[in-house]
Amino acid sequence: METSGAFWLSLARVLAMGWCVALASWPALASDAEPALEAGLQQQVRQLALAGMQLAAPGVTRVDVQVGQLDARLRLAPCQRVEPYLPAGTRLWGKARIGLRCTQGPTPWNVYLPITVKVYGPALVATTPLRPGAVITEADLIQAEIDLAEDASVAMTDAKLAIGRTLTRPVNPGQSLRQAHLKARQWFAVGETVRVLALGAGFSVAGVGQALTPGTEGQPARVRTESGRVLTGVAVGAGRMEMAL
């Protein structure tokens, strides 16, 4: 029995070594305890992410793509060719993911690799601790390079749009000031006259109406025109509402 047990133990070790050799010969993914990416594939992922980015934000100074790790629980079949791709609807901003699929191997598979896209640019940061309810002053802010994609809320870049605003959340020294930190402004009240701008493909139509709801910054509002028609749009400024046609 001892000889038989030793035989099966030796056989198990040989099979395990054979599997490790197979994984080691895998040009794109290899794993002992968890799936790991080769440097070449990591570079392909970074290039794909950079190529797929649409940097609409002005003043971007640099972009850094950090490649994460595959789920350690994955047990992927050997693959001779792994192709990275951009999943539909992916926004390459902050936390995102890149698809990896086996295009040449005994068993096709598809997994998702987490990445972090850091987009750096100048924005406003706090110089002192700011508490909820505080009214922002010029001395509270300074321009600095930050990761614009670190937070889902838009980073404030123009001090004129921040000074005099009231905070709804605390902001620590060195932390970027975000739109979500600021109390939304009320651009018009019920009953006030509102200028309405209707925007279409290559044209715009302007008119006036009476507010049926308060015009809170960035929120839907309703206005009744002189003809009695009720329009729904978004409050964008003092006494102004915009709507898409």
- Paired with 189 in beta bridges are none
Per-residue pLDDT tens digits for 62-115: 999 999 988 888 888 999 999 999 999 888 999 999 999 999 999 999 999 999
Of 14-18, 63-67, 128-132, give the lowest mean pLDDT range.
14-18
First and final CA of the chain: distance in angstroms? 83
Task: Extract the tokens encoding 114.
Answer: 């987490």
Q: What is the CB neighbour count within 10 angstroms for residue 116?
A: 17
Domains by residue range for the chain, with CATH: 34-118 (no CATH), 120-181 (3.90.1210.10), 186-244 (2.30.30.760)
Instruction: Give the tens place of pLDDT for each residue, 161-189.
Output: 899 999 999 999 999 999 999 999 999 99
Residue with tokens 């901003």: 93
pLDDT in tens, 185-243: 999 999 999 999 998 888 889 999 999 999 998 899 999 999 999 999 999 999 999 99
